[in-house]
Amino acid sequence: MEYRGRALPPVRLPGLDFVEQTCWDEFLESSIQLFAAIDYRLKQMMGLTLAAVRLLNYLDVSNGSFRKSQLSHALMLSPSRVGQLIRHLKPQQFVTQSATPNDPLGIRVSITDTGRARLEAARQIVAEEVRAHYLGGMSRHQMTMLTDSHRRINLRMQLGAMWETYKDLV
């Protein structure tokens, strides 16, 4: 059975009216499809996943090396998923691992020059996919409105996380 062009029915959330439910359904479906399209193309062209590209990008733009736990937190991935990514990237010499000074259990991860070169090609693929599947059908005004909506959601999420972190101090 097909549901509004989807293989699976949307999850009906109690208390949401039709507009709210439709907004959520469309956001979720478009996000999943976009990430899947980018991931598929990256795997096909580069042998990398979007998660691996995000990890390489984080290491590149931050100009540093990080503990696995820091990467896990920054990328919002489980520690085991970060470990899997590193195990995939290390044999290709995209990242290196080293012991953390003063912490025998800590391991730091850094991007290599080979990893940076591969990342540049991957960024190009991501940009092409984003334009083709996400931005291509929108006007500048629509992009601005969507950016504002996402910024508001992100801010509320960040404030909520900060409140959870510091509420016991109040």
pTM: 0.82
Rounded to whole angstroms, the Cα distance separating 94 from 105 reads 22
The 10s digit of each residue's pLDDT in 46-78 is 999 999 999 999 999 987 778 888 888 889 999
Rounded to whole angstroms, the Cα distance separating 115 from 53 reads 10
Helices (H), 76-139: 79-89, 113-130
**CATH (residue range 18-164):** 1.10.10.10
The 10s digit of each residue's pLDDT in 103-129 is 766 778 899 999 999 999 999 999 999
Q: Are 111 and 56 in contact (CB under 8 A)?
A: yes
**Every domain of the chain and the residues it spans:** 18-164
Q: Are 108 and 66 in contact (CB under 8 A)?
A: yes
